[in-house]
Amino acid sequence: MNPSLSLAGGPPSALNRIQRLSLFLGFAGLFILLLATFGIGFPKPGLWLALALFLILGGVLGYSLGAYSGHPAGIRNNGVWFKSLSARGIWAWGLGILLTGFYVVLYFYPQYLGLVQDGPNRGLIALFDPLSRALSGNPASQWFVYGALYTLAILAFGAKFIWKYRHNRYQLLRTLSVMFFQLAFAFLIPEIMARLNGDLPYYDLKNIWPLNYYNFERYRVNAFIGEGNLGLAMLLFGVASTLVITPVLTYFYGKRWYCSWVCGCGGLAETAGDPFRHLSDKSTFAWRVERWVIYSVLVFVVLMTTAVVYSYLGPDHSRYWLSRGELLVGVGVLLTLVFAWVMLFRRKELQKDARYGAIAYFTIILALIGFHYLSDTQHVFLFRSETLRKTYSLLIGSIFSGVIGTGFYPIFGSRVWCRFGCPMAAILGLQQRLLSRFRITTNGGQCISCGNCSAYCEMGIDVRAYAQKGRNIVRASCVGCGICSAVCPRGVLRLENGPLQNRINHRDMLLGAEVDLMDFVGEEK
């Protein structure tokens, strides 16, 4: 109804000379990759690959230099809503389609990237062979290419992000952290481990179940167990990261320790996705959809994983030290304990949502009982467990997290997957809401309702709605990126950890006026 004035305006769009040169370099690098994809064989692939990667890196770094140097440090969101790329213009759609296309090819048609099953790779994947051999000793696969480009993106755009927010130490530390975890844990360590011990499954240690939904599949578990103490330690670490490490860290720091400091998906969203963070949908409708979808995915992944593990466990201890019956009982008991604790101690926080929690709980419990009575070795419940797994991996693992989650950055914003789909985020979020010291404190009455915080929240949280009432922000979805606090022109928001008491302040009163008024101002209608 009220068209933004801005779009009619004529803001400066010209790039400066450094930026133009950098764009040329970056695109030259991409062009080499493109040529390779179309089957141009390069004589010295190692050299060309290095050239391409360094050109891209240099291009991004140079571009950032051109964009941010020469200005004093500070928030520079000038023209975000004027630029085609960041305001859903032609360039945004173009990029969205390119990225989506890339994901479709990557997941479903890797042969077009040059993957050859039994024989030397061709095309783009062949170009990456030298790097892969140098690291793990094996030829590259489509996943290696993807991993390398992903890491490059986090490093290059991470550097850009740091330069952009160089006045903000929280952003600096957080970004260094995601860059480190991506480079070391997601990229280098697994490759090097593959070189040292080729029989261990590829394991990115920071990729925790349920994000890493395949961690407990048969081939992996067998490989872990088959590799002696190291393998066993890795398996136990996998279980402990979900059941112990994650809850403890989330209690102390909120889900941010994972979502915006460690996680690779988060890492990409925070770095390469930064120019698109304001595109997230802030409507209450989106919030409603978010909660239904993300918790459904969580229920799905719990059932799917239980089914998959169930399908290969034996009726007794002859094959594994855990039997089928024990698995079902174990899962049931764990969930019952959690559910009982929530209902006993956190009923108030959940309010109306308690009903949905109960629905989810009873669905899982009924399904567990169903497993027991309606399953044989091939079928779990009425489905083949393999079908469940495949469906999950296709719908959630590939289409949701990759094609939609990343491909649509320029259209829906950078955290679509994290917000609507990630089961890990769902668990951490529940805990953040119910049992964590983390909150975003609102600074008394200083809010001027400008809307910057809400606009730049990549999770679509209407931060202003809380801040202008003087309330703290305690939301399951908040990943603690700290951008709301950074862009706030009045110093209203602070991410902090503190005692559980008064974490959620429902005192609906803004500081500044006389105390008497506090009784008058009731609950928000």
Partner 1 sequence: MHVLIIGNGISGVTAARHIRKNSDCRITLISAETDAFFSRTALMYIYMGHLTFQQTQPYPESFWSRNRMDRIRGYVTAIHPETRSVALADGREIGYDKLILATGSKPNKFGWPGQDLDGVQGLYSYQDLERLEAFAPNATACRRAVVVGGGLIGIELAEMLRSRDIPVTFLVRESSFWNGVLPAGESEMINTHIREHHIDLRLGTNLKEILPDANGRVRAVVTEQGETIPCNLVGLTAGVSPNIDFLRGSGINLGKGVLVNRYLETNLPDIYAVGDCAQQREPIGRRRPVEAVWYTGRMMGETVARTVCGQRTAYTPGHWFNSAKFLDIEYQTYGWVFPEHTREAHEAHFHWRHPKKHICLTLAYDRGSGTLLGVNTFGMRMRHAVLDQWLTEQRTAEYALTHLREALFDPEGYSDYRKHIQTAFRQQTLTAS
The residues, ordered by sequence, that sit 6+ positions from 108 with a Cβ below 8 Å of its Cβ are 398
**Beta carbons within 10 angstroms of residue 468's beta carbon:** 18
Query: Closest approach of Cβ 463 to ligand SF4, in Å?
Result: 5
Give the 3-state secondary structure of residue 59: helix
Two tokens, residue 419: 């917000």
Which is nearer to partner 1, 16 or 387 (by Cβ)?
A: 16
Name the residue with tokens 């719990």.
Answer: 302
Q: Does 74 bind partner 1 (CB under 8 A)?
A: yes
Residues that bind ligand SF4 (CB under 6 A): 447-453, 457, 459, 461, 463-464, 467, 473, 478-484, 488, 490, 492-493, 495
Cβ-contact 164, 156 below 8 angstroms: no
Q: Does 464 bind partner 1 (CB under 8 A)?
A: yes
> Interhelix angle for 284-312 vs 218-226, to 10°?
60
Name the residue with tokens 């520079």.
Answer: 76
Query: Closest approach of Cβ 184 to partner 1, in Å?
Result: 21
State the binding string over 424-463 for partner 1 (x if CB under 8 A, else -).
Answer: -----------------x-xxxx-xxxxx-xx--------
DSSP 400: I
Q: Does 176 bind partner 1 (CB under 8 A)?
A: no
Query: Closest approach of Cβ 504 to partner 1, in Å?
Result: 16
State the binding string over 77-96 for partner 1 (x if CB under 8 A, else -).
Answer: xxxxxxx-------------
State the binding string over 155-174 for partner 1 (x if CB under 8 A, else -).
Answer: ------------xxxx-xx-
Which is nearer to partner 1, 330 or 444 (by Cβ)?
A: 444
How many Cα atoms occupy the beta-carbon half-sphere of 127 within 13 Å? 28
Query: Closest approach of Cβ 16 to partner 1, in Å?
Result: 11
The phi-psi region of residue 470 (left if phi > 0; otherwise alpha if psi is between -120 and 50; otherwise beta) is left
- Quote helix, strand, coil % in the chain, to nearest 5: 60, 5, 35
Cβ-contact 66, 22 below 8 angstroms: yes
Give the 3-state secondary structure of residue 447: coil
Segment interacting with partner 1, rule: CB under 8 A, options 40-48, 67-75, 127-135, 410-418: 67-75
Q: Does 225 bind partner 1 (CB under 8 A)?
A: no
Which is nearer to partner 1, 452 or 477 (by Cβ)?
A: 452
Which residues are at the interface with partner 1 (CB under 8 A)? 1-6, 8-12, 72-75, 77-83, 167-170, 172-173, 283-284, 441, 443-446, 448-452, 454-455, 464-465, 468, 482, 485-487, 489-491, 494-496, 510-517, 520-522, 524-525
